[in-house]
Structure 1
Amino acid sequence: MRQKRAKAYKRLMHAYCVTFGFRQPYQVLLDAAFCESIARSGIDVEKQLETVLQGNCKPMITQCCISELYALGPSGQHVVDMAKNFERRKCNHREAIPGDECLTSVVGTTNPHRYIISTQSEPLRNHLRSNVPAVPVMHVKRGVTVMEPMSEVTKEKKESMETQSLAPPPSSIPAPPPPTASTSTDPTSKSTAPPPKKKPSGPKAPNPLSVKKKKVVAPPPTAGKGKGKESVKRKRDEEVEVTKKKAEEKKDEEDDGEGPLKVNIIGGDGEAGGEAGEGAGGRKKKRRRKRGKTVAGAGAAEEAEGEGSGEDSE
């Protein structure tokens, strides 16, 4: 089967399933002429029906159609053997009637059991197409099983069912309020109720995601908190002043004592630097004086020796 035809059949069966409640396995009723044509072409019936319907199916046949196959005689024995493998559908006819009338009575006017009819009878197909909605019809044409498109009666039934499903139920529609003395029945009379206010049309607020966030201002400190902070600051200042005073006193004691003198190598302008410079300069002068005295004493001794040697030579 061609892909285009297979898609059309699948779409058609989906519409039957959604709207009319068809379900798998599909119940397929076959008549005697359809069984004879299928047997003549040598096609596997169940496989062919599943290919056309795009799903699992259940071939069925009535007792009246089986009796028509028995009437064929020995030449139709292979068709009878094939039909015996199908499921037997009870038609409740005590005496056998023609196959078209039997299938018409089984389907009824609304097809409550959701049968799919496979027949070669043209009058039966016309009757089902024009009078009974929701009945898929199949037949064999040139050795190929074909399913007919949806009939007009079926389309009308489908549209009416869709409109009913979309419309609200009558119980949910509220009843109109009863007329009162204040409401007048005259349509020309003007109502005293004010007209509804229109919403103001103007510039809308900006996008909150594109607006810069406002800075949060910290609240002013309370009286209790301010006093605590000031007391802590005062304590810190007092401690710093005490440490400064102690450091200054230590410096004064070191300058007045006989400890080692600190020389300001960098040459600072402070008082400590000047005092240290003066102490170092005094020491250097004393050393120079001592050296000068020793040099002078050595020179006098040499002169005395020189004079004594001169006298001896004379």
Structure 2
Amino acid sequence: MRVKKQKRHRKVVRFYSACFGFREPYKVLCDGTFIHHLLHHRLTPADDVISHLLGARALLFTTRCIIGELRSLGESHSEALEAAQQLFTARCDHEKRVGATACVESVIGETNSEHFFVATQDADMRKKFREVPGVPVIYGLRNSLFIEQPSAQQRQYAKSTEEKHLHMGESEYLKLYKSDLKGVITNDSTNRVTEGTQLTRNISTTKRMLGVAEKSKFKRKRAKGPNPLSCKKKKKDDTSAPQNQDGVDSGATKKKIRKRKRAKEIGS
């Protein structure tokens, strides 16, 4: 069951990273209630616990207003005050101290441009941030931590933003059709010539590197002779040979008459 929960949390983190641009190390804005919950259930060190939850390195932040609120609660939250003072401080720009809920809302704003994870135990704050796109919420339940699943409104916002990126905006249409037809044709022809020249250079460079000799592109055709294998040899004229009176070729060789040698008889 623990493995399934961890996979579900990593899936939520990937959703916010892909759709809203969250990047490592992740920034987590903690209020006083969440810090108190961590210390009460001994979920320490807090940065290691939250880093394990998110699957990456995490930096914990708080604000001066939250620290001031913990200080005003007295000794019952002194341990939480000491822990909050050790965290990074996010800029809230409040001259006078305001409530933790109002301070966190001002830091997050309408679009959460700083890409904060909000860690809180306040149910009203969790409900409010479900309506703000791009604000993941972390909360604790006994000795475990959870990330809230993206709400239907957040998923719809991410889907509409993705569709806008796929289509061309009005300003891009104006830039595209602002130039006249002549300029478009001139630029198109110039680009084609440049691309063709660059392609020819790349091919010649590749051939030179491979040691391939370049052939002439336009070769003049020349007349070729007949194929010597298809030509027949000329026959000799027999009438030019001298003949004797008997009509026999004088150049004809006479056949040699073979003589058989007989063995001498013994006693003759």
Give the TM-score normalised by structure 1.
0.59
Q: Distance in 2 between matches of 1:227 and 1:145?
A: 94
Partner residue, 2:140: 140
Residue 224 of structure 1 deviates from its aligned partner by 7.9
Q: Secondary structure at the match of 1:230?
A: coil
Match of 2:56 in 1: 55
Q: Number of paired residues? A: 206
Contact 2:9 2:146 in 1 (8 A): no
Work out the CA distance in 2 between the residues paired with 1:144 and 1:75: 23
The residue that corresponds to 2:111 in the other structure is 110
Name the structure where helix makes up a greater proportion of residues: 1
Percent of aligned pairs sharing the same letter = 25
- Range moving further from structure 2, 73-82 or 153-162: 73-82
Unpaired runs of 5+ in structure 2? 178-223, 237-249
Deviation at 1:115, TM superposition (A): 0.9
Moved over 4 A (4+): 172-175, 221-224, 226-229
- Structure 2 counterpart of 1:121, one-letter code: D
CA shift digits 1:149-196 (9 cap, x unpaired) = 001221121011111122234435988xxxxxxxxxxxxxxxxxxxxx
Give the 3-state SS of the residue equivalent to 2:29 in structure 1.
Answer: strand
Offset at residue 95 of structure 1 (A):
1.4
Unpaired runs of at least 5, structure 1: 176-220, 235-244, 253-270, 293-314
Could you tell me how far apart the structure 1 residues matched to 2:230 and 2:38 are?
109
| Larger radius of gyration between Structure 1 and Structure 2 | 1
Q: Could you report, residue by residue, the CA deviation over 1:22-41 in whole angstroms, capped at 9, with x for unpaired residues? A: 11111100001111111111
SS of alignment partner, residue 149 of structure 2: coil
Give the C-alpha shift of residue 75 in structure 1: 3.3
- 1:115-194 paired onto structure 2 within 5 Å: 115-130=116-131, 132-170=132-170, 171-172=172-173
Cα root mean square deviation, aligned = 3.0
Paired AA for residue 19 in structure 2: T
Asked whether 1:85 is paired with 2:86, we answer yes
Counterpart for residue 70 of structure 2: 69
**Alpha-carbon distance, 1:83 to partner:** 1.4
1:25-40 matches, within 5 Å, as 25-40=25-40
Code of the aligned partner of 1:230? K
Query: Could you say if the C-alpha distance between residues 225 and 2 of structure 1 is closer, same or farther in structure 2, counting changes exceeding 3 Å?
Result: same
Q: Give the number of the structure with larger relative contact order, counting CA–CA contacts within 8 Å between residues 6 or more apart.
A: 2
Structure-2 separation of matches of 1:50 and 1:226: 86
**TM-score normalised over the length of structure 2:** 0.68
Distance in 1, matches of 2:146 and 2:226, equals 98
